[in-house]
Amino acid sequence: MVEPPVAMTSDTAFSIERVRSITGSSAVNVSRLVLSTHTGAHADAPLHYDDAGADSASRALDPYLGTCRLIDVSSARGAVLPAQIGERLDACPARVLLRTARVAAQDRWDEDFTAIAPQTVDLLAAAGVRLIGVDTPSLDPQSSKTMDAHLRVLAADMSILEGLVLDAIAEGDYELIALPLRIAGADASPVRAVLRELRARTIE
């Protein structure tokens, strides 16, 4: 999976600047990064949708590492509903990734991305899922002011990955590695998200 280069159009644009270069007075190159905490593939912290929520530095890493199930819901329109995934949750691992698009929007902002219905979050929580991952910028629609899906995640103490690129990934179970950075005070953290074929032993 590769992180898309764009965040929300009103958010902080990504930039990189060389501040030290290898010259007679410097033995190394050093750069400065400027980016939103929600750039590309990222892990939302509860602080993003709850003023009293935990920051990125306070979140356990377990949800972001272990067996996951990728479910293709690219035929969904508007929002992914419980009926569209319910039959695919048998013996489900603790992490579910939802592929909502055939091709993720990496070079533009798609205002009509597929959201996740709050009831679908409830279904996943009832199935023992601890992490929801999506190939969109958010679980909730862009126009949402109530953040219903995020708040259902908060109530169930689940974790969120957003902005994944799942274009070439077939449905099935994989090993997920997508660790957030331990940034105190951060409402989210960019991640390098990787899926691997399951081996004989994986972290549950």
Which residues are part of the catalytic machinery? 48
Residue ranges of the alpha helices (H) in 127-171?
Answer: 148-155
The answer to whether 1 and 169 have CB atoms below 8 angstroms apart is yes
Residues 6+ positions from 148 with CB-CB distance below 8 Å: 118, 140
The β-bridge partners of 161 are: 43, 133
The answer to whether 79 and 116 have CB atoms below 8 angstroms apart is yes
Residues 6+ positions from 5 with CB-CB distance below 8 Å: 14, 39, 40, 106, 107
- 83 in helix, strand or coil? helix
CB count within 10 Å of CB 32 equals 10
d(CA 119, CA 150): 11
d(CA 68, CA 131): 9
Cα–Cα nearest to 105, from 172, 192, 188, 9: 9
